[in-house]
A and B are shown apart, each in its own frame.
Chain A
Amino acid sequence: MAEAKFDGPVLELEDIHKSYATGSEVETEVLHGINLRLQRGEFAALIGPSGSGKSTLLNLIGLLDRPSSGRLLIDGQETGSLDDGALTRLRGRSIGFVFQHHHLIPAFTALENVMMPLLVERGRPDDEMRQRAAKLLDQVGLTAQANHQANQMSGGQQQRVAIARALTMQPSLVLADEPTGNLDTKSADSVFALMREVNVSQQTTFLIVTHDPRLAARCDRIIELVDGTIVSDHVAEVRKQEMPQQHPD
């Protein structure tokens, strides 16, 4: 995707509310007017206690769900007016997902899993997507495992494949839900380092939901959500300059 990317904020939330119908009459509001902006290349952590609305917010940002009110823009594009199909396409192109349980598709090899986002978009496999997937696997250090099925890889390896898969479409924004939650410290560190590297080298924006204060502390920005409201949002300016520039694309 070589075309010029939108220069403004990658993500823009304006007064986002989200309610769920819990009974026939009663509606429970989970998010109470969220305002949030993520610029290109940001590396942000979203923290907060269980039940604070983190997952709900992540689903809204990932276009898996729609807000009850408020404006949500991805790459400057208003999403409220898009129909289901258009939302699916925008999601496929602009957003990469990394989940706690990595969720590789077990019927496919590592390489095929990485190809998958392009495959569902283009409809048929081709050499270009195969090469791109191979390159991404190389980038996450798993060329040797390209033809392994998910169950033939360790948790850390699977999560690296999942990260490669999230990057296949060269998305503006990668959403990671507890990406290291399931991993031992060593694997967690390498997975985090990998995300950081991608962030720096490709200016990909990351929003990482985590319970792990150690991990959050290593992000550039920490957004804290409590009871459906953002209670704190600070930026650590130092971190960004510390990171080495690698693999410029």
Chain B
Amino acid sequence: MYPWLPFEWIAATRFLREGRMQSLLIIVGVGVGVSVIVFMSALLSGLQSNLVRRTLSSQAHVVILPPEEVARPQRDSTLGPILQKQAQRLRSIDQWQKLRGRLAEMPEIAAVSPIASGPAFAVRGNANKSVTLIGIEPDNYNRIIALDEKMVAGRLRLNAGETVIGIELAKDLGASVGDKLRINSSNGTTDTLTITGLFDLGNKGVNARNVYVGLRSAQTLLDLVGGVSSIDLGLRDMYAADAIALRIARETGLQADSWIKTNAQFFTALTSQKISSNVIRFFIGLSVAFGIASVLVVSVVQRSKEIGILRAMGATRGQMLRTFLIQGGIVGLLGSVLGSSLAWVFLALWRALALNPDGTPMFMITVEPELFAISAAGATLVGIFSALIPARRAASLDPVVAIRG
């Protein structure tokens, strides 16, 4: 008996220790539940961050575009002419420098990168490829898409007359670093550029299509001098993209597309995966709670005499209540420690066994220590919560009945 422990703790630990088999079984039960939750959470967050990273490797969180051009009839009439939707031409965002300044001041936004982008042809010898010409400010763009980290040959240098292209396009054109490439834009402007680097953004289409040049070169080629066709934004919280895009659209009258909207299906898949895992977690938690509750209910029945004696000796209802709540908490905590260790083993096995055919891991799982802390706290709370019913039973036990019974 440790002098610093209050009566309730002493009684709770003694009762648990005395009911050896019972306590052990329920702790293992809680442990299995917690291990599944921890393992699943780690796996899922690894999978999701991996998927999101791949998806966002060539996309900004939010893209701001000029508003769509709409044909307005001069006479407003229901009998008026049939309106045909206008074909969209390449336009600049009005006063984009001003807008850029304002965006940069918004605390939610981590990076702002103006872009002049449009269709063009890349010509080399007889090869003629349709490409997307993208004029960027490399430093700002890197903060959103990390192009510099994706370079596989040469390096990202976009001075006047320089370009970097994807590895697919390089293959199609038979070009490599140091070679010249002619760009014909759709309005007839032509420029010859030197390839300074090749990138691999992890997406074949993007690697075959994107041609990066300096912002100024693109402006000239696309006949957008001084203008930008879009502004890419990197956010601090990428899941807030929808809300922020909406706000920007409302405040500026421009079109703002979030990656969530652009990848609606992917995001729906992600969300439903999250929901289904939460449902599974909830039900595991529920069954753990029922397990703890049922064991403690049995324990209260088994100990009703002892509870009666303790009450006769002057133990209060509150003391009995707390004794059983503490037992629930201890079972939850010990179970979560066991469960976290089990999950750790599962994750190690997963890392060793779930490999691509070439031996590299299928995806990286990073286990945050918080996950263990959260599961321990959660299991303890679930334990205390599920002990409520048995504890209240113990507290309301009539000592007369308990002692006689």
Contacts and interface: CB of A to CB of B under 8 A. Distances in A.
Contacts of B14: 107-108
B310 A116 contact: yes
B5 A117 contact: no
Nearest to A103: B309
A120 B309 contact: no
Interface residues of B, number: 30
A78 interface: no
B317 interface: yes
B6 A88 contact: no
B302 to A, nearest CB: 11
Interface residues of A, number: 32
A84 B317 contact: yes
Interface string B6-41: 110011001101100000000000000000000000
A120 B312 contact: no
Interface in A57-81: 59, 62, 64-65
A3 B381 CA distance: 45
Contact of B1 (A64, A65, A88, A112): A112
Nearest to A96: B313
A88 B7 contact: no
Contact of A91 (B10, B15, B312): B312
B312 A125 contact: no
Interface stretch (B116-124, B147-155, B340-348, B396-404): B396-404
B216 interface: no
A92 B310 contact: no
Contacts of A119: 7, 10
Nearest to A62: B312
A107 B15 CA distance: 6
A149 B168 CA distance: 80
B400 A65 contact: yes
A105 B6 contact: no
Contacts of A62: 312
A88 B314 contact: yes
Contacts of A108: 14
Given A103-B306, A106-B18, A120-B319, A93 B4 contact: no
Given A64-B399, A107-B17, A88 B311 contact: yes
* Most-contacted residue by chain B among A89, A92, A120 (CB, 10 A): A120
Contacts of A234: none
Interface of B: 1-7, 10-11, 14-15, 17-18, 305-306, 308-317, 319, 399-400, 403-404
Given A85-B316, A97-B313, 5 more contacts: A64-B403, A107-B14, A117-B314, A125-B1, A125-B5
15 contacts: A55-B404, A64-B312, A85-B316, A88-B314, A92-B314, A99-B309, A99-B403, A103-B305, A106-B18, A107-B14, A107-B15, A107-B17, A120-B7, A124-B3, A125-B2
